[in-house]
Structure 1
Amino acid sequence: MAAHETGPRIAILGGGIGGLAAAAFLHREGLTGTVYEQASRLGEVGAGLVVAPNAARQLRRLGALDELRERAVRLDIGWEFRRWQDGTVLSAEDLAADCERLYGEHTYTAHRADLLAALRSRVPAGAVVLGHKCVRVDTRGESLRLEFAHGAVAEADMVIGADGVHSVLRGALFGTSPATFSGLCAFRALVPADQAPDFARRPAQTLWIGPGRHLVHYPVSGGRFVNLVAFAPAGDHTVESWTATATVGEFLAEFAQWDSRLVDLVRASGRPGRWALLDREPLPRWTVGGATLLGDAAHPMFPFFAQGAAQAIEDAAVLARCLADGVGDPAAALRRYEGLRLPRTARLQQVSHGRSHINHLADGPEQRERDARYAHDDPLIANGWIYGYDPDAPDADAVPSR
């Protein structure tokens, strides 16, 4: 593979969390990546997300955590599971006391734009090229050729596809395979804090679970908003897009019989977004020659463990380390990255998929058994394989992810 005299030319498709994290971690390792983003600006698309200890650990090493904390909310109360009908607390986790003790970091909630800004602060000026929608990647030559919608072209020695669930690079490498419709859709909204009930403004991530549905809320943007995301039967809604919307009436109709406090929160949701959850099997490989995938392009997963952003950040950290260690043979470095990351992300895809059944049990014996488990199990410890992961640990390569 040809290399530029100042190092390999690395193109990163997509300026979302995965793409910016990749550019930032490459820069940390002394490598340069150019991010090509289709939007004309890095804006407010998306809503809230959870920054769990495994993500916070990498953001700290990147030097981005302090900036994020200025805009994020630390979950000092923690996690709660509540019953749909009356808000009975099924399980509560005191993250303020336990999270840092167990994993060395706290858990935060943040607006996606604030996480993007923190990552962007660690990317060199000029490394992000906006208004470049990649429509084709030609992998046949010694260099990889990128073609953009407005006619521009670029060449690179390596291409990292961080371009999301509809990845152009994934299609170029492995062809397009149809996704399976899950039968579920997600509603999302940001509710101004002064319009939200008191219980929703607390520094807690609260999950309300009930028959066929569940709903999550937590504060973001320094407490100025409450992020609301809910999952319900999709009916005939099959659009998978961050920009699709619903009406408050449609949102309310799905949760009309739930606890009245929750109904009040939904009623304040303005014009909620709505998108269908499509199901995709884990890919058997991500890498061909000098091209590889990262984040949702490689391993799209249901959001039920709130690990989509965290796994993209982990991918970026491992990819940059592999390339720095193997700069003389980039193709081998990309294969090593894939080997380190694919088993862990495939497991998370699988357990996230199974969570919808557990959360959506109809009232009855199986539901009561689940609720009893929630009362006694400690999810912070049970999910230690997620939150304790550290790719920079001396024995990280020897520790299985499952």
Structure 2
Amino acid sequence: MRIVIAGAGIGGLTAALSLHAAGFEDVTVHEAAPEIRPLGVGINLLPHAVRELTELGLADRLAEIGVATAELAYFNRYGTPIWSEPRGLAAGYAWPQYSVHRGRLQMLLLEAVVDRLGPDAVRAGSRITGPGSEDLLIGADGIHSAVRAHLYPGEGPPPWNGLVLWRGVTYGEPFLTGRSMIMAGDGTQKFVAYPIETGDRTLINWIAERPLDGDASDRGNWNRPADLAEIGRHFAGWHFDWLDVPGIIAGAETAYEYPMVDRDPLPRWTFGNVTLLGDAAHAMYPIGSNGASQAIIDARVLAYALARGDLAAYEETRRPATTALQLSNREMGPEIVMKLAHERAPGGFDDIEQVIPHTERAEIAASYKRTAGFDPASLNERPSWSVDRSAAS
């Protein structure tokens, strides 16, 4: 079976590794960019994605390049705690959660593909726009997918919700546990920070978010340079006892601007010998740290389904799940606790229990885990998607 993958991002490269592990030998990845470079800033790999990469034999490499996240904590815009929870192994998962530089993860996956599938398995400067002579074409070519456009011509640019994200990295002092991921805000303006390197120095990945004055240009481009002084002006008063937000922003060498866009859920991913994967299938708001993780899961389920000769099972399993997640992210997912805290106590609070009771906060967190597929008990008990290589056809 000859399989062509459009896109050498995290989803496309994981698909190549998954298909090879399932016994498919004729797999090539085509990347439109003339060179594959380690672009981007930090991302999170949730335990359900770490499980899949572990089963692909990448656990040790992940541990080398990532920071094992210890906790996730939400605060209001004054730095007062709203909710916190352990993450990874400390939360009862059988696998850790990692914060990692996106480019380093992509290079790790690229090296594994070249090592296992051969030096000709990944072809840069090769743009795929539609099906050819292959037995299966997998469109893993991102939010501006040419393969998706072939299936759904005239869809237009991704819809924008009026918010802008500014992203950067800054060397700074450790905060809270030293491996904490924090979000502070009020439902409209937000600051996110977490370490992606620790040791002699801590490299902090940060995201600043607020409504954008005017229209958004270059939607879906993660690499548009931004003005650090402008970003800092919007967060000038955000000095917490445990984190200096303006100082973190000012300490970056550069930052990138990204209008918050996604794609509308599709009624169908697969047409004949063409299917979609990752952002090409279900680009979603970067809420809940799920974009890369869901692409990795897509890749594993696709290989599992193909090894059993049942391509339809891939979409039957993944499309309803990712549609629910896309819609949840449009409603702020677990981050809605910041909005609720602001609406109920806009001037701040002394006792969060009087604002959002623990039972309500706990259910918001648990509900999102169920929607996104990383409820601890369900994930730990779920059968593996690894397959016997001899099962592939």
Short-chain TM bin: 0.7 to 0.9
Q: Please give the root-mean-square deviation of Cα atoms over the aligned residues, in Å.
A: 2.6
Matched, 1:120 2:110: yes
Cα pair 1:68 1:114 within 8 Å, conserved: no
Distance 1:277 1:288 in 2: 29
Separation in structure 2 between the aligned mates of residue 336 and residue 28 of structure 1, nearest angstrom? 19
Identify if the C-alpha distance between structure 1 residues 288 and 226 changes in structure 2 by more than 3 Å, giving closer, same or farther: same
Contact 1:201 1:219 in 2 (8 A): no
Deviations 1:138-163 (A, max 9, x none): xxxxxx32xxxxxxxxx312100000
Is the aligned partner of 1:90 residue 2:82?
A: yes
Is residue 2:48 matched to residue 1:61? no
Is 104-113 or 310-319 further displaced after alignment?
A: 104-113
Change (3 A) 1:321 1:252: same
Q: How far did residue 287 of structure 1 move?
A: 0.6
Q: Does 1:47 align with 2:36?
A: no
Q: Which residue of 72, 76, 81 maps to 1:79?
A: 72
Q: CA deviation at 1:244?
A: 0.6
Q: Which of residues 18, 21, 27 in structure 1 aligns to 2:11? A: 18
Write out aligned runs for 1:1-400 (5 A). Answer: 8-32=1-25, 33-76=27-70, 78-85=71-78, 87-95=79-87, 98-99=90-91, 101=92, 103-123=93-113, 124-125=117-118, 126-134=120-128, 136-137=129-130, 144-145=131-132, 155-178=133-156, 179-192=158-171, 196-199=172-175, 202-210=178-186, 212-222=188-198, 224-236=202-214, 237-240=216-219, 241-259=221-239, 261-326=244-309, 333-355=310-332, 358=336, 359-360=338-339, 363-365=342-344, 372-373=355-356, 375-376=358-359, 377-378=361-362, 381-385=366-370, 386-388=373-375, 390=379, 393-394=382-383
SS in 1 for 2:267: coil
- Mean alpha-carbon deviation: is it higher for 367-376 or for 87-96? 367-376
Provide structure 1 residue ranges, at least 5 long, that are not aligned to the other structure: 1-7, 138-143, 146-154, 327-332, 397-402
Does the Cα contact within 8 Å between 1:45 and 1:242 map onto a contact in 2?
no
Which secondary structure state, in structure 2, belongs to the residue aligned with residue 170 of structure 1? helix
Query: Relative to structure 2, which stretch is displaced further, 230-239 or 364-373?
Result: 364-373
Distance in 2 of aligned mates of 1:310 and 1:115: 12
Whole-angstrom distance in 2 between the partners of 1:175 and 1:381: 38
Classify 1:198/1:390 alpha carbon distance in 2 versus 1 (closer, same or farther; 3 Å): closer
Contact 2:224 2:257 in 1 (8 A): yes
SS in 1 for 2:65: coil
Q: Match for residue 388 of structure 2?
A: none
Provide the rounded CA distance (Å) in 1 between the counterparts of 2:124 and 2:367.
42
Quote the offset at 1:311 in angstroms.
Answer: 0.4
What TM-score does the superposition give when structure 2 sets the normalisation length?
0.84
Distance 1:133 1:201 in 2: 44
Q: Secondary structure at the match of 1:122?
A: helix
Quick one: percent identity of the two aligned structures? 32
Q: TM-score, normalised by structure 1?
A: 0.83
Query: CA, structure 1 residues 336+37, in 2 after alignment: closer, same or farther (shift >3 Å)?
Result: same
SS in 1 for 2:183: strand
Q: Report how far residue 298 of structure 1 moved.
A: 0.2
Q: Report the alpha carbon displacement of residue 280 of structure 1 after superposing the two structures with TM.
A: 2.5
The answer as to whether partners of 1:301 and 1:352 remain within 8 angstroms in 2 is yes
C-alpha deviation, 1:335, in angstroms: 2.1
